[in-house]
Structure 1
Amino acid sequence: MLRRLALTAVASLAALSAAAPAATALSPLVPLPPLPVIHDDWFGGQETRTRLTVTVSESGNPVADGVFELECGPAGGSHPAAQRACDLLDEAAASGKNPFVPTDRNAMCTLQAGGPAAARVQGTWQGEDVDARFSRSNGCEIARWNNLVPVLPSAR
């Protein structure tokens, strides 16, 4: 009885394995449609395209020195002026200007010192990676810093 059961199982398996390729050969394979891309806003959230870490030191304002997180869309994080900072960054994006571009090495800059303030901005702005350093070492750098206030604090 056991032998008959084993022979039946082997015969059935052989028949099925021979039938499967024949069945697929008769019908062409149909590709599956592409899967949809899932967006954050499908779940009620809004995609954050700006997420920055702002590190400031020696600005002359102890409250402004430190490490701050800035998120835009909606404005948030630990940045003390998040909404105003996001508004400034949105204006820059609308005008097509990247506020994180370093000063041109060939630029003629006034030789004035704006203090020891230093800052670093890292993260993502408008979906692009950012790693920018700021100082107040000459006229060009002072102007670059001032153009980014309130993302960077007003330095004394």
Structure 2
Amino acid sequence: MRLSAATVAALLVVLIAGCGGDDAAEPSGSGGGEPAAKLTVTVRPDGPDGPARRRTIECARLGPNAPESACRRLAGLTADQLAPVPAGTACTQIYGGPAVAQVRGELRGKPVDARFELTDGCEIERWDRNRVLLHDAPRG
């Protein structure tokens, strides 16, 4: 049985939506005076050798009560959501463009070192899921 790309995409959306967690269990700060988020985000829209757009996000707390808009947008984001696509995952063979990105630092007390590409449907979905950090993927 062959599945169309649209069917596969719809199934991925349903699966990901069912993987939600309990946001109340995730603290919005790490306590002890440490920031809830300290991340360096580097996006290279033209590929690994292209010019970099870099920004640093540092938040004492995350969520609707955070004073900075970037920190409010990170309310539901966890380090686990930045994890790579598991090896062996079946992905649609759709190229999303040359853009690459890296997110390094700490989020809610967990270390982060995540790399992003647009090499297939899984990676495009992962980029889109983390758009709050990466913004829209430049498609080329």
SS of alignment partner, residue 91 of structure 1: coil
- 1:5-154 equivalences under 5 Å are 39-40=32-33, 47-58=34-45, 65-74=52-61, 83-84=69-70, 86-93=71-78, 98-154=80-136
Q: CA deviation at 1:154?
A: 0.2
Q: CA deviation at 1:119?
A: 0.2
Q: CA deviation at 1:83?
A: 2.2
Residue 131 of structure 1 aligns with an amino acid whose one-letter code is D
SS of alignment partner, residue 123 of structure 1: strand
SS of alignment partner, residue 99 of structure 1: helix
Does the 8 Å contact 2:37/2:58 carry over to 1?
Answer: yes
Which consecutive unaligned segments of at least 5 residues does structure 2 have?
A: 1-31, 63-67
> May I ask how many residue pairs the two structures share in their alignment?
99
> TM-score, normalised to structure 2's length?
0.62
Question: How many Å separate the matches in 2 of 1:153 and 1:92?
Answer: 14
Q: CA deviation at 1:92?
A: 3.1
Q: What residue number does 2:4 align with?
A: none
SS of alignment partner, residue 131 of structure 2: coil
Structure showing greater Rg: 1
SS of alignment partner, residue 133 of structure 1: strand
Does the 8 Å contact 1:50/1:71 carry over to 2?
Answer: yes
Question: How many Å separate the matches in 1 of 2:38 and 2:131?
Answer: 17
Report runs of 4+ in structure 1 exceeding 6 Å deviation. none
Does the 8 Å contact 1:135/1:141 carry over to 2?
Answer: yes
Q: Which has the higher helix share?
A: 1
> TM-score, normalised to structure 1's length?
0.56
Q: Aligned-pair RMSD on alpha carbons?
A: 2.5
Same amino acid, percent of matched pairs: 36
Does the 8 Å contact 1:117/1:155 carry over to 2?
Answer: yes
* Change in 2 beyond 3 A, CA 1:98/1:83: farther
Question: How many Å separate the matches in 1 of 2:132 and 2:82?
Answer: 14
